[in-house]
Structure 1
């Protein structure tokens, strides 16, 4: 057979520019992998007897089918044998899904079953005329896939061997899952946990310690604790006996820093001394490395959530640093120095880059603030902060070259430029994979990322895209058998779905877009983002009960910055131990793409129409999958019509951005000439006072930065001359980053009572980071901006003494708590008056009535009811102000019973119309010819 003209002109048998033709996609390993996955998920909670029974049944039946398939009536062997003549094909597939006798030889050429002189593949490959050669399935029909003439795979009829493979893999998964599940139920640890016993245990850490995320609970931020995953190796029971065990547990260390002095109630510019040694105890626990063994005295309790990989929880009431009984291994100490060098090199960067770069490189999210973490979740960019196979693939591609070019003369990458042979390059890639696992910690998520990254390594080494599906199936099968708990992991499910989408849907969608004249690079990026989002969205909806409409554009925009941020981040980590100045320079370069990604996340999360609520269950997931299929099928027709595409794009942008002028026309929100607006921020307070076009004074920021930011965006607020924080409770100040983001802010005014201390420090840090001055509000202060004017009624001037340490001032008592120190304002705008009481409680409300400011407290038009409408209200104050409209900012289904029925009844009895954000949503008030006009959103 003669050679083609292209190959004849080349000195290479395969041709310099054209790799060998690929066969059809091999899907035979997919059913066994899925069977193992499902069996492992079910058997983890089953008894040992059930697991053994399933394993034995699968082994017996599968073995019988396998023997029957090998001794069929026609005398030929299936699954990789030749046809009717019974001879073996040179290129049959091995048991592991890879090619055996037909694999590449040492000299780079293929052995028996390699490409023929004419460029076509022989013995088990497509012939020159496009038909299958003698190596295809025999008449008996094996479980392998055949082609339909177009090179695409189609399923062949199932044979006994195919069913046997599924049953044998299921049996192996049942045995592995049964053993892992039994580990959690046997031994003394589960029994002692049911008794809530106090024990002394030696725990070997299996992952990096981490802090719990601070969460706003009512008026405070829940204290953080240190979480450590590990295995109990030695257990001293309450009776003094000692047992050697190996049981996985979660250790929760309540290592709290003492505040070191209370806040002071004062005015002026005095600063409170910072608490000495704050966080030192937590830092000692957080510095521990995986493989370190520590001894803890703890109370052992059952795990709160069943079905996890831990047998119990050890609650440690820490009174000091950890007691280390065995240091970490040498490899982990080296990896720890690399990670520490990365953190040190990023210390001088801005807050976003300092937080994100360690996350991009090694999955260290300890510096990521809550509001940025929530923004990444809202835009489905969280995968960038986890140890990801995609990020590791970027490094492999940088070193070896992009997939599909590994066997071409023009293949790119550092390895071919350095003259490294292909096989040596693949070996170095394997070493990089091992190093990746060690540096990023060998926990399940890292192993999953390494396996997914190795799939890309296979493509790079072979130049075959279609070999990736069996590689993915192999990775799933091996990982599930090695660690059955991955079968119940949402992270594992999302990784497999995303990888499968990138291997199957993305290439087809990219080709379809290119046929419609979309530029190749843009088509590939858009297809990859859309494919991953389409298959992962139903699972994400189950986890978050929300569907992001901005996920695809945000991922598309972030994709261009991920590669430089990741590569420069790894370079920073590699150079930090030997040349810190160079590492800091690289980190500074990496801060630009990292900052770009942070801006994308925050911008997408702040979009008023950035997401829609969705049922957070599997019924909702199926519904979303159906909607996705409809959108994809409809999109195929729309893409070929540019005008319709343009219209759809404009409509999408309007839905997501919701520009205030258009929103006002369609929804009536915000109403024209609105004066006061109460945002719906859940269980907290956030009110906006209109001060001109795009300008507003913000009183309190609520508990959630995203909700505060969205409310201000919907109101069209871009300039804030003053932010007033009535007091430092978390439900009034935790949303401050969302208020400050992207807006011009003149100053922040607060109460002088700086408690809670940690939240007062939080406000001060936020202001200092943006160079915003912080002032103190005192009674008698008057201000005006535009048509807006207000007077501060409370708190009164103070004596400069801490609460309860001296005589009371003449104007009122020293507040006993933060609520009674709330800044209270009487606001006038457009002929209306509004009384804003913060969270004042009856003692301060009574003192306010006795103060000189009481002379101004006549009837008001609008009142912001104190303390979310709690039952603690002074009836004399309610009668004195007699509001026409009472607004209550409260969260739905809050555990405090706010608003109290007695308070609502008292307000209505006084003639007030009562509106509440949990039922009415955001509320805006305007003044019309017939009185107050109210709009709800």
Structure 2
């Protein structure tokens, strides 16, 4: 009985210790969130992820940008983050095992064995604060192995150590054997232990500065071994992963160290923690900017077959590139030409792509961007300027479309209604461009998307206005009139589609009707409204609601378009566009083009005789075309 009582007391004591530790860790995490509350949006979202793996604030568009540039490992706890902390304690790579070692421990007079114990305590604290989840455990384990390798200089002998860590983690949690994240962590750590030292030495032999050689070798080795696994999941190969990782590397260490300083200071003094967090916001913002800039490059990624076969194919191609690269490095001229070609492929400068592909066509008046299942249109408004009607669901895709058109100034962004597939891409429109105003419908539903738009406008100090039927505006050769909604729109029970802003556009002798997502009730009301009396037959119709089956045939016959354009996503779950709608349009004499099959669509005008042409192709410039 006494033995049983002792066991129960020991169990209760262990439980109390575990609960107390987790409570303290929760207090630290809460303090970090409070300290980062007033930071710019990117830093506020990214810092908790870098420090404790809290990615709850990371918006989808930033997550996608990190994914496109293979920087996703920075948005959550990784072995690299933990290695930085231990390096701060022990010293920089290559000095931890020497008598003249550097770092905080020797400066404070802490002997080597005590330093090892302190490192173990730091590891335990790292696991507790970041929660003892499998991802955190593998980060701590792989980080320790990688740091031990660079600290002692005995890299090869640590491969068995890495294998032991992998075995222990899999025994602890067998489901890790099926985790892509676990596989990528192990592969990256193995690459740092085996390939990176050889590649770094080879670069130094070719007169590459030592620091740059180490950074290039580490980023290149990790990318080479991880890319075949990533492509199994993403079906895409990033061409900017290595340069983006190199540029981000300069900011990772200060952001991580300052972030942990804010974490430690938060329970003691929030003002001090906020100072550390503010300092960390600069490198964190730099990392986010690198991810967004890399994701926005028109040639930043290449579609690749997914699944095991695609991964195997990429592994073979990567091996071939490595073997050829060894020969290329021997000739500075050949290496320079290869680098220049890669830059041209990634950057795709507009003058060059226009000559090669014909995109964008000269004299384009309207472009329907290929943004997947959503809407994003651009109306030409002068050199480098365009009025943007809707922003699509993806900031990266709409930004890429605008870049391909050379749009640097947007006099007006007009959002027909607040559904996410029309407004979620707004950050991509605002990125790096001068925006005059944002105009929206008067029906603020869904409320969360309306708040999202207002928040962006407020942050960028952009004026917001509401579109009302009868409004007429002009900029250069572009003129438009708002046909819908009336001053007090009455939305139908299905949502805000019937409050969509509808425009009649005139440009270069062409007439375009943009219906937003209007459905039959609003389409019939539009025909009964006073502005409909002057509604002419149009050259181009932007078909409402991605070509859904819900169209008013009377309206289609009334406007009698020569060309009908449909913006929809490939293999979308809604069945857009409807075969019935397409058939009705064709029966009325319209040529029908759609972004899911034809890519981005450009309409060009040729004077006052209602003649024109349309070019179709991907926004990257792959041009296919037909004339109407």
Which TM-score band (shorter chain)?
A: over 0.9
Query: Which whole-Å CA distance do the structure 1 matches of 2:88 and 2:26 have between them?
Result: 25
Q: 1:409: how far off?
A: 3.0
Instruction: Find the counterpart in structure 2 of residue 411 from structure 1.
Output: 101
Instruction: Find the counterpart in structure 1 of residue 359 from structure 2.
Output: 669
Instruction: Find the counterpart in structure 1 of residue 537 from structure 2.
Output: 859
Instruction: Find the counterpart in structure 2 of residue 739 from structure 1.
Output: 429
Structure 2 residue 188 is matched with structure 1 residue 498: yes
Query: Which whole-Å CA distance do the structure 2 matches of 1:603 and 1:853 have between them?
Result: 44
Instruction: Find the counterpart in structure 2 of residue 349 from structure 1.
Output: 39
Query: Which whole-Å CA distance do the structure 1 matches of 2:490 and 2:156 have between them?
Result: 73
Q: Identify the match of residue 827 of structure 1 among 505, 510, 517.
A: 505
Structure 2 residue 160 is matched with structure 1 residue 470: yes
Query: Which whole-Å CA distance do the structure 1 matches of 2:91 and 2:262 have between them?
Result: 21
Instruction: Find the counterpart in structure 2 of residue 516 from structure 1.
Output: 206
**Deviation larger for 430-439 or 757-766:** 757-766
1:788-937 equivalent positions in 2, closer than 5 A:
788-798=478-488, 803=490, 817-928=495-606, 931-937=611-617
Instruction: Find the counterpart in structure 2 of residue 74 from structure 1.
Output: none
Query: Which whole-Å CA distance do the structure 2 matches of 1:596 and 1:407 have between them?
Result: 33
Query: Which whole-Å CA distance do the structure 2 matches of 1:733 and 1:911 have between them?
Result: 32
Q: Identify the match of residue 756 of structure 1 among 424, 437, 446.
A: 446
Q: Identify the match of residue 462 of structure 2 among 772, 775, 797.
A: 772
Q: Identify the match of residue 609 of structure 1 among 277, 293, 299.
A: 299
Q: 1:462: how far off?
A: 4.1
Consecutive unaligned residues of structure 2, counting only runs of 5 or more, are 1-13, 618-628
Q: 1:737: how far off?
A: 1.4
Q: 1:549: how far off?
A: 0.8
Residues 66-97 of structure 1: CA distance to partner in whole angstroms, max 9, x if unpaired?
A: xxxxxxxxxxxxxxxxxxxxxxxxxxxxxxxx
Q: 1:408: how far off?
A: 2.1
Q: Identify the match of residue 444 of structure 1 among 131, 134, 159.
A: 134
Q: 1:403: how far off?
A: 3.5
Q: Given that residues 724 and 748 in structure 1 are in contact (C-alpha distance below 8 angstroms), is that contact kept between their aligned partners in structure 2?
A: yes
Query: Which whole-Å CA distance do the structure 2 matches of 1:362 and 1:750 have between them?
Result: 39
SS in 1 for 2:156: coil
Query: Which whole-Å CA distance do the structure 1 matches of 2:17 and 2:126 have between them?
Result: 22
SS in 2 for 1:923: strand
Query: Which whole-Å CA distance do the structure 1 matches of 2:404 and 2:519 have between them?
Result: 32
**Deviation larger for 451-460 or 415-424:** 451-460
Instruction: Find the counterpart in structure 2 of residue 700 from structure 1.
Output: 390
Query: Which whole-Å CA distance do the structure 1 matches of 2:473 and 2:341 have between them?
Result: 43
Residues 187-239 of structure 1: CA distance to partner in whole angstroms, max 9, x if unpaired?
A: xxxxxxxxxxxxxxxxxxxxxxxxxxxxxxxxxxxxxxxxxxxxxxxxxxxxx
Q: 1:708: how far off?
A: 1.2
Q: Identify the match of residue 729 of structure 1 among 411, 419, 432.
A: 419
Q: 1:928: how far off?
A: 3.4
SS in 1 for 2:375: coil
Structure 2 residue 270 is matched with structure 1 residue 590: no
Query: Which whole-Å CA distance do the structure 1 matches of 2:149 and 2:577 have between them?
Result: 61
**Deviation larger for 482-491 or 352-361:** 482-491
Q: Identify the match of residue 364 of structure 1 among 42, 50, 54.
A: 54
Query: Which whole-Å CA distance do the structure 1 matches of 2:465 and 2:94 have between them?
Result: 62
Q: 1:402: how far off?
A: 2.5
Q: 1:520: how far off?
A: 0.8
Residues 337-362 of structure 1: CA distance to partner in whole angstroms, max 9, x if unpaired?
A: 11111111111110000010110011
1:278-289 equivalent positions in 2, closer than 5 A:
none
Q: 1:328: how far off?
A: 7.5
Instruction: Find the counterpart in structure 1 of residue 19 from structure 2.
Output: 329
Instruction: Find the counterpart in structure 1 of residue 119 from structure 2.
Output: 429
Q: Given that residues 490 and 499 in structure 2 are in contact (C-alpha distance below 8 angstroms), is that contact kept between their aligned partners in structure 1?
A: no
Query: Which whole-Å CA distance do the structure 2 matches of 1:408 and 1:458 have between them?
Result: 13
Matched residue count: 602
Q: Identify the match of residue 482 of structure 1 among 172, 176, 186.
A: 172
Residues 348-377 of structure 1: CA distance to partner in whole angstroms, max 9, x if unpaired?
A: 110000010110011000111110011001
Residues 141-192 of structure 1: CA distance to partner in whole angstroms, max 9, x if unpaired?
A: xxxxxxxxxxxxxxxxxxxxxxxxxxxxxxxxxxxxxxxxxxxxxxxxxxxx
SS in 2 for 1:467: helix
SS in 2 for 1:688: strand
TM-score by length of 1: 0.63
Q: Given that residues 824 and 837 in structure 1 are in contact (C-alpha distance below 8 angstroms), is that contact kept between their aligned partners in structure 2?
A: yes
TM-score by length of 2: 0.93
Residues 556-602 of structure 1: CA distance to partner in whole angstroms, max 9, x if unpaired?
A: 11011101100111111111111222111111111110000000000
1:601-640 equivalent positions in 2, closer than 5 A:
601-640=291-330
1:117-516 equivalent positions in 2, closer than 5 A:
329-459=19-149, 462-516=152-206
Query: Which whole-Å CA distance do the structure 2 matches of 1:681 and 1:689 have between them?
Result: 16
Query: Which whole-Å CA distance do the structure 2 matches of 1:785 and 1:406 have between them?
Result: 65
Q: Identify the match of residue 556 of structure 1 among 236, 240, 246.
A: 246
**Structure 1's 662 and 462: CA in aligned 2 closer, same or farther, altered over 3 A?**
closer
Higher Cα radius of gyration: 1
Query: Which whole-Å CA distance do the structure 2 matches of 1:628 and 1:458 have between them?
Result: 29
Residues 752-805 of structure 1: CA distance to partner in whole angstroms, max 9, x if unpaired?
A: 01111221112111211212111100011111112211111111122xxx848x
Q: 1:816: how far off?
A: 7.2
SS in 1 for 2:593: strand
Query: Which whole-Å CA distance do the structure 2 matches of 1:553 and 1:655 have between them?
Result: 14
Q: Given that residues 149 and 193 in structure 2 are in contact (C-alpha distance below 8 angstroms), is that contact kept between their aligned partners in structure 1?
A: no
Answer 1 or 2: which has greater helix percent: 2
Q: Given that residues 502 and 514 in structure 2 are in contact (C-alpha distance below 8 angstroms), is that contact kept between their aligned partners in structure 1?
A: yes
Consecutive unaligned residues of structure 1, counting only runs of 5 or more, are 1-290, 293-325, 805-813
Residues 99-129 of structure 1: CA distance to partner in whole angstroms, max 9, x if unpaired?
A: xxxxxxxxxxxxxxxxxxxxxxxxxxxxxxx
Alignment RMSD (CA, Å): 1.8
Query: Which whole-Å CA distance do the structure 1 matches of 2:378 and 2:325 have between them?
Result: 41
Q: Given that residues 155 and 194 in structure 2 are in contact (C-alpha distance below 8 angstroms), is that contact kept between their aligned partners in structure 1?
A: no
Instruction: Find the counterpart in structure 1 of residue 10 from structure 2.
Output: none
Instruction: Find the counterpart in structure 1 of residue 9 from structure 2.
Output: none
